[in-house]
Amino acid sequence: MYKQRIAKLQRRAIDLDKEILAAERDSNFNKDALKAMLIDRNDVYSDLRKYIKLQWDEDHESVNFEDDR
Assess contact for 38 and 45: CB atoms under 8 A. no
- Is 66 exposed, middle or buried, given 0-12, 13-18 or 19+ CB atoms closer than 10 A? exposed
Question: What's the pLDDT score for residue 68?
Answer: 64
Q: What would the pLDDT profile of 4-33 be if each residue is shown by its tens digit?
A: 999 999 999 999 999 999 999 998 999 999
- Cα–Cα nearest to 49, from 17, 14, 10, 1: 10
pLDDT band with cut points at 50, 70 and 90 for residue 61: confident
pTM: 0.81
Question: What's the pLDDT score for residue 63?
Answer: 72
Provide the percentage of residues in the chain whose pLDDT is more than 90.
80
